[in-house]
Structure 1
Amino acid sequence: MSTADTTPTPTPSAPVRIIASPQSWIEGEAVRQLEAVARLPGMRLAVGLPDLHPGKGAPVGAAFTSEGILYPYLVGSDIGCGMGLWDVGMLARKAKAERWASKLDVEGAWNGDVEGFLAEEGVKSTGFEASLGTVGGGNHFAELQRVEAVHDAEAFASLGLAADRLLLLVHSGSRGLGEAILRAHVDRHAAGGLAADSAEASAYLTRHDHAVAWARANRALVARRMLDGIGAPGRRVLDVCHNSVTARRDARGTRWLHRKGAAPADEGPVVIPGSRGALSYLVAPLGDGTGSAFSLAHGAGRKWTRTAARERIKERFTAESLTRTSFKSHVVCENKDLLFEEAPPAYKPIDRVVTDLVEAGLVRVVATLAPVLTYKTRSHAE
């Protein structure tokens, strides 16, 4: 009598692509995480961008496509996190960075008409409005920038931009809202996925889409508070999301595109920022996006963990020295741990990341932007 083989059959791995040159350092743990995601049921493609680095359970700087199943944990807790760029109605030569650094304050609840503002943005309230219009922690920021160089004058002008004006780049997300949505999923499903045709998936996507819209409104209100603080008008040029799951439909059917710290390559120009002491790159996507899961790097990517950054940078720099950069720009960050954790040496070189994308035929550089003032956080401790 024969005995059936009960050994589990390994899930076939989806293709794994890492878009990075040999000159770029990609941590082995990030590659391991990318390969682990590729083995999940329903996964069809896993792509690591040049800013790939390890995350909590899944890598950051990556995009994944699946079929029949979607995975909320791949989106993470900051649903809708992304970046918006504003054209500031002020000449760069009139910037008063030192004065602004002493008075700008984008902490705490906004004292304006929150409900009216959300209505303008077409977003329903969530119960998290006390955080609306705040930057948040981690790698989030609001940065006033000047144009360092224009590399594609036609594309630059088509966005209504002028080389002598200031710009404002805001990086923030859905604050506690996205975290609450993920926590509710994890409480029921841990890191498991959801059948795409299930009622639970539909409910998650409804909450997810609301958080994406709320995060976009949050960036708009951060921008309004910053612009009010410097006494200048502004116009939103672009806004893109880095953490999301969206349906893509083609002749093969519906696939689910998960981005975890990845900029879209199918929504027009994007800004890829470096650290607060490096240039940011305004780029135009190229190609049809299929080989890169319709995604691009969203920043420089961490080189050191936060713990390692605190330890290493405290040995080399004082907190006060980190409030100025090699561009002579000012940094507002009154949380000393965050000041060290987010110091420029903790990040990969942004020029290498963007060069990798250029060499892969994925982007064309439109302009480079230099920091003038980077806002992280004020301390309101008594």
Structure 2
Amino acid sequence: MSTASTETTLASPAATVRVIASPQSWVEGEAVRQLEAVARLPGMKAAVGLPDLHPGKGAPVGAAFTSEGLFYPYLVGNDIGCGMGLWDVGMLARKSKAERWASKLEVEGPWNGDVEGFLAEEGVKPSGFEGALGTVGGGNHFAELQRVDAVHDARAFAELGLEADRLLLLVHSGSRGLGEAILRAHVDRHAAGGLVADSDEARAYLTRHDHAVAWARANRALVARRVLDGIGAPARRVLDVCHNSVTPRREDGALRWLHRKGAAPADEGPVVIPGSRGALSYLVAPVGDGTGSAYSLAHGAGRKWTRTAARERIKERFTAESLTRTSFKSHVVCENKDLLFEEAPQAYKAIDRVVTDLVEAGLVKVVATLAPVLTYKTRSREE
């Protein structure tokens, strides 16, 4: 299904449904159906699908929702705090040694440093899941060294303290088992039901949620440190945003709850919207007041094929070895063959189209495009 930006009002409870996608973009009918189903939940005020909208488990990914009076933890999902951080690496791109790094770099297993000291530096309390702290995780998570492909807005680029000849590091990861445990505790008690905002249970969930968001941010920072230690370079964190969360927001004189399920914030400054490991990533700056997009942006290209379909289709056309290099001549570290096929570039939508939709909708301006040099997924043969 190809859909233009649409807006519909459903039967009570009245919730506005909007899909921000041009006629040139592919949006599955099932994803729109899920979006409309969420809009029918009690208390819902708006359901917005971004250009990377695709079906999820019960609720679509690449979407943002606002509610009043209650909120829904299952819309946040199990990877609470999942997001992306960008680091300015103190190394010239021309000095990168991608092939050597690909053969040696390892970001697996418990970190052997001072975990408690590191968390204290980040202002985060331990969670009991520190064995996974500083690891990328499975699925679409990654750590990617990048070079600047082109600068499109020199002033905005310079304001971030960036230079076009240096490497960058983009880390996409979340709260690992911590978020899963928090969601499981909620689902065991409430299934997909919501929580009345002014209740003890809601306050308890939000306390755990906020801890997971902070822990996930620390996790990305430690993944970055391990990668940087591996290549022998210093770095500066440029930005870090969360795309799986629920947060309070005062709107039209009422307290509402903004759920993001695979949606980058449009109210926290510049963000990176990555493509697949074989495509450009886009550093963009939000424009406008964000009201028409639930203060949210696409968080990536969005899946075109399910994982099962990707394995079946891509195994017929490519060998695992061929997928460890990309059209950018970048290297991919992924020793789990199933994951290598599931996350192949062909399984994703075209990131250029996703970002163009955001630009044409008046939501972002492109600051720079970033090309992959080395994408790290996992050394493990099992997820």
SS in structure 1 of the partner of residue 311 of structure 2: helix
**What does residue 3 of structure 1 align with?**
none
- Distance in 2, matches of 1:240 and 1:379, equals 27
Query: Where do 5+ consecutive residues of structure 1 fail to align?
Result: 1-9
Q: TM-score, normalised by structure 2?
A: 0.96
Q: Which moved more, 1:242-251 or 1:190-199?
A: 242-251
After the TM superposition, which segments of 4 or more aligned residues of structure 1 sit over 2 Å from their partners? 10-13
1:41 aligns with 2:38: no
Corresponding residue of 2:253: 252
Aligned to 1:369, what secondary structure does the other structure show?
Answer: strand
Q: Map of 1:84-123 to 2, 5 A cutoff?
A: 84-123=85-124
- Superposed CA RMSD: 0.8
Contact kept, 8 Å, 1:281 with 1:365, in 2: the verdict is yes
Asked if the contact 1:144/1:374 (under 8 Å) is kept, the reply is yes
Task: Specify the code of the residue in structure 2 equivalent to 1:325.
Answer: T
Residue equivalent to 2:280: 279
Structure number with greater Rg is: 1
Alpha-carbon distance in 2 for matches of 1:21, 1:325: 28
Question: Are the counterparts in 2 of residues 11 and 40 from structure 1 also a CA contact under 8 Å?
Answer: no
- Alignment-mate amino acid for residue 255 of structure 2: T
In the TM superposition, 1:120-139 aligns within 5 A as 120-139=121-140
| SS of aligned partner of 1:370 | strand
In structure 2, the residue matched to 1:243 is 244
Q: Give a deviation string over 1:121-162, Cα, whole Å, max 9, x none.
A: 000000000000000000000000000000000000000000
Deviation string, structure 1 residues 100-132 (Cα, Å, up to 9, x no partner): 000000000000000000000000000000000
Percent identity between the aligned chains? Answer: 89
Q: Do the aligned residues in 2 keep the contact of 1:13 with 1:40 (CA within 8 Å)? A: no
Could you tell me how far 1:380 is from its partner in structure 2?
6.8
Separation of aligned partners in 2, 1:213 and 1:82: 11
Q: Distance in 1 between matches of 2:252 and 2:328?
A: 49
For residue 11 of structure 1, report the CA deviation from its aligned partner. Answer: 3.9
Aligned to 1:5: none
Other-structure match for 1:183: 184
Q: 2-side partners of 1:219 and 1:107: how far apart?
A: 13
1:87 partner SS: strand
Map 1:1-382 onto structure 2 (within 5 A): 11-379=12-380
What is the CA deviation profile of residues 205-252 of structure 1, one whole-angstrom value per residue up to 9, with x for unaligned ones?
Answer: 000000000000000000000000000001000000000000001442
Q: Secondary structure at the match of 2:181?
A: helix
Secondary structure, counterpart of 2:178 in structure 1: helix
Distance 1:187 1:23 in 2: 41
TM-score, with structure 1 as normaliser: 0.97
Residue-pair matches, total: 372
Gaps of at least 5 residues in structure 2 are 1-10
Q: Which amino acid is the alignment partner of residue 210 of structure 1? A: H
Distance (Å, rounded) in 2 between the aligned partners of 1:203 and 1:29: 33
**Which residue pairs with 1:4 in the alignment?**
none
Distance 2:374 2:137 in 1: 17
Aligned-residue offset at 1:12: 2.8
Aligned-pair distance for 1:182? Answer: 0.2
Contact preservation (8 Å) 2:13, 2:43: no
Counterpart Cα distance in 2 of 1:125 and 1:380: 28
Indicate the SS of the match to 2:182: helix
